[in-house]
């Protein structure tokens, strides 16, 4: 087997190795699901949804049937046109062409019918939700570890409570600068025969060191097919690592960057095994692409961190002032009027199951239906109390769209965005984040001037006749000359009317902020934003841009709790106006609604016996299942790596088989 592979072209040998791994991935992934508790009938009923490799294989079969139908259509159409020309000219019809038309028509009909039936019976069937998690086998107890709460949220990006938060930003800045220089230098090395710059003598040293690295790798005489295999695997892994894991909940930052550097090294070593004379430039180009991917990712991270820091400068002072009154919240739920409903175990099991299914939307590389792997070990819950200042701002702005030719006069009407008689606000309930677009009528359209003509560069060819002296005689020859010219033509946008008309869209953007103080202490209280299950105290400050006169709602029954609520409310009142102005300036908007709420909610921690004893969290009414560390789907990664080579090898094998059959029956080959 290895001797046969060694005699094949390196690209084909690498493709065969990867293609052979795809069926193995299907077997391993299916066995893992069966060992986790799934039955064969469940996997069949789900049409392979939980087994990513199997589902991808089914889709490949569907596309194969579609390809069969398209190839049959192309063959029948091509031969049919040729037969029609023979019939029109009075020639005898070619029997081989008739056979191709019949075969192509049969392939079109059979492929279309099978593809339709396959899609309707397997691919388009609605997949049921994941398995129901049984909470009866878990140890359910009241109380949460305070040390766990104090670090909750430090694993995601961005945040300000991670112990290495600032060092990670420094590392990102360093990686950004390093990969910027590396991408520029390697890009110049890849095209150094065409490019020239003042730094050329210094960049040539990089080329020399690169060549030394290539020579050192080639000393080990690694087969070229294995090198191509390593290039494919490292490239795909780099793409997945830089394109996913946005909040670093799959892999921590420092671990992911270590993996990135190792993959870049593997890419270099694998590419160096190629014996092509242009290998130096090819290595430089591949490394430049990898460096650019990391560069873009680090730039995106730093941009997110800057926006997060700008928001924290506004919200953190509010949290600190509310934190001074946390002692008033510690015993609130001892009051008979401030009680939360007891935890429903049956509802908790349904919620965990639904949350595990919804997490499939958290990323394309999250394990599908991983509720099957959970094996609940322990459920901890605690009633929490939060004092929250809630703000909702609104801003309006216009944008344009369209751009069509018009005969109307030039006009640019200004939209009175805050005229509520013309454009009334569609006020949402509560505190939300959304944008409401409204396309305005023709009266608000903008008409601008557009030059009626445009000058473009046209590429054309000319045939030139010339004579040439060949073997003692003069021969006439022709050649095609490619030329360019500047032409003036009617503007394609306004069609010569010299007017372009645009419609206007009025956007109403609602933005909300929830700075809060939570008891027990939670460093990232935004995790529990909107989790309120019961309101114990509520006082509205602003409604519809104006101060509210509504009477505060207080459910406390004891004098002690009422006094604590009043103290907390007075503290919030003294700071409200200043903080409201800061949030409005941060959003560049107007404050529409604000209030102060003391609410209760359950914080639930779910620990699993499997998945490396991972844990998930629920906060009150929030539907999200928060996972500090999401399980990564290695099956999906294996599918992305092995499926394209498997499809290519299958297509190549079918093409060779088709040529063999055509040769056996005396028919022209497929190409």
The Cα 493–Cα 484 span in angstroms is 23
Gap between the Cα atoms of 182 and 177, Å rounded: 9
Question: Which of 117-121, 374-378, 470-474, 639-643 has the largest mean confidence?
Answer: 639-643
Whether pTM > 0.85 for this model: the answer is no
Distance CA 270, CA 291 (A): 16
Better-scored residue on pLDDT, 205 or 575: 575
- Tell me which residue has tokens 């700075």: 515
Which has the minimum average pLDDT: 71-75, 182-186, 369-373, 544-548?
369-373
- Range in 281-285, 295-299, 401-405, 478-482 with the lowest mean pLDDT: 281-285
Instruction: Give me 88's structure tokens.
Output: 């029109």
What is the per-residue pLDDT for 570? 87
| Confidence band, pLDDT 50/70/90 cuts, at residue 68 | confident
Q: What is the DSSP letter of 632?
A: B
Cα distances (angstroms) measured from residue 238 to each of 257, 294, 653 = 10, 9, 30
Query: CB–CB of 398/507 below 8 Å?
Result: yes
Give backbone dihedrals phi and psi of 283, rounded to 5 degrees, phi first: -60, -45
Q: Report the alpha-carbon distance of residue 459 to residue 413 in Å, rounded.
A: 42
Do the Cβ atoms of 624 and 3 come closer than 8 Å?
no
What is the C-alpha to C-alpha distance for residues 384 and 343, in angstroms, rounded to an integer?
Answer: 13
**Range among 119-133, 232-246, 581-595 rated most confident:** 581-595
Query: Which of the two residues, 547 and 216, has the higher pLDDT score?
Result: 547
Give the residue among 598, 508, 511, 601 at the shortest CA–CA distance from 562: 598
Cβ(149)–Cβ(525) below 8 Å: no
Q: Are strands 446-449 and 434-439 parallel, antiparallel or unpaired?
A: unpaired
What pLDDT is recorded for position 196? 43
* Residues shown for the chain: 671
pLDDT at 164 over 80: no
For 312-326, write each residue's pLDDT tens digit.
888 888 888 888 888
Nearest to 290 by CA among 179, 195, 175: 179
Banded pLDDT at 194 (limits 50, 70, 90): very low
- Overall average pLDDT of the 227-244 stretch: 85
């Amino acid at each position: 087997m290895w001797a046969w592979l060694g005699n094949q072209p390196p690209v084909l040998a690498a493709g065969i190795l990867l293609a052979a791994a795809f069926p193995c991935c299907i077997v391993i992934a299916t066995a893992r699901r069966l060992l986790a508790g799934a039955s064969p009938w469940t996997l069949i009923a789900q049409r392979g949804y939980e087994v990513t490799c199997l589902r991808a294989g089914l889709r490949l079969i569907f596309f194969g049937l579609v390809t069969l139908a398209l190839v049959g259509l192309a063959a029948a159409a091509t031969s049919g046109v040729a037969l029609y020309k023979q019939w029109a000219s009075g020639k005898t019809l070619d029997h081989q062409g008739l056979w191709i038309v019949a075969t192509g028509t049969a392939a079109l009909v059979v492929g279309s019918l099978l593809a339709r039936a396959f899609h309707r019976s397997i691919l388009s069937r609605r997949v049921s939700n994941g398995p129901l998690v049984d909470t009866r086998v878990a140890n359910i107890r009241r109380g949460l570890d305070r040390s766990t709460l104090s670090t909750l949220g430090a694993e995601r990006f961005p945040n300000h409570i991670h112990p290495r938060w600032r060092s990670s930003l420094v590392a990102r800045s360093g990686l950004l600068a390093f990969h910027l220089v590396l991408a520029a230098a390697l890009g110049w090395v890849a095209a150094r025969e065409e490019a020239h710059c003042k730094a050329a003598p210094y960049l040539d040293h990089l080329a020399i060191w690169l060549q030394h690295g290539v020579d050192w790798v080639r000393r080990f005489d690694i087969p070229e097919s294995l090198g191509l295999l390593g290039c494919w695997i490292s490239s795909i892994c780099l793409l997945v690592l830089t394109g996913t894991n946005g909040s670093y909940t799959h892999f921590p930052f420092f671990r992911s960057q270590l993996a990135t550097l190792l993959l870049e090294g593997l890419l270099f070593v694998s590419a160096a095994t190629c014996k092509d004379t242009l290998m130096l430039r090819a290595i430089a180009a591949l490394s430049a692409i990898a460096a650019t991917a990391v560069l873009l990712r680090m730039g995106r991270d730093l941009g997110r961190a800057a926006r997060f820091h700008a928001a924290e400068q506004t919200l953190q002072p509010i949290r600190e002032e509310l934190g001074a009154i946390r002692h008033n919240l510690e015993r609130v739920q001892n009051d008979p009027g401030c009680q939360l409903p007891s935890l429903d175990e049956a509802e908790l099991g349904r919620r965990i199951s639904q949350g595990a299914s919804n997490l499939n939307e958290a990323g394309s590389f999250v394990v599908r239906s991983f509720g099957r792997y959970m094996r609940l070990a322990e459920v901890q819950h605690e009633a929490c109390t939060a004092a929250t200042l809630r703000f909702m701002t609104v801003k309006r702005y216009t944008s344009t769209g369209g751009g069509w030719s018009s005969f109307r006069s030039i006009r640019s009407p200004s939209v009175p965005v805050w005229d509520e008689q013309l454009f009334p606000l569609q006020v949402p309930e509560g505190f939300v984040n959304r944008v409401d677009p409204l396309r305005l009528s023709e009266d608000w359209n903008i008409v601008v001037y557009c030059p009626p003509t445009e000058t473009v560069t046209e590429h054309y060819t000319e045939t030139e006749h010339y004579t040439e002296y060949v073997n003692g005689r003069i021969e006439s020859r022709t050649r095609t000359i490619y030329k360019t010219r500047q032409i003036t033509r009617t503007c394609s946008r306004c069609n010569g009317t010299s007017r372009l008309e645009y419609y206007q869209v009025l956007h109403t953007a609602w933005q909300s902020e929830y700075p809060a103080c939570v008891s027990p202490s939670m460093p990232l209280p935004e995790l529990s934003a909107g989790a309120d299950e019961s309101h114990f105290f509520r006082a509205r400050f602003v409604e519809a841009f104006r101060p509210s006169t509504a009477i505060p709602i207080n459910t406390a029954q004891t004098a002690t709790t009422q006094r604590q609520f009043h103290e907390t409310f007075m503290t919030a009142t003294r700071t409200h106006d200043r903080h409201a102005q800061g949030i409005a300036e941060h959003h560049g908007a107007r404050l529409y609604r604000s209030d102060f709420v003391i609410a209760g909610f359950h914080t639930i921690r779910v620990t699993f016996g499997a998945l490396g004893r991972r844990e998930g969290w629920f906060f009150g009414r929030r539907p999200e299942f928060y996972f500090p560390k999401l399980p990564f789907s290695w099956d999906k990664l294996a599918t992305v790596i092995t499926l394209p080579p498997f499809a290519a090898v299958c297509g190549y094998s079918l093409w060779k088989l088709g040529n063999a059959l055509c040769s056996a029956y005396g028919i022209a080959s497929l190409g």
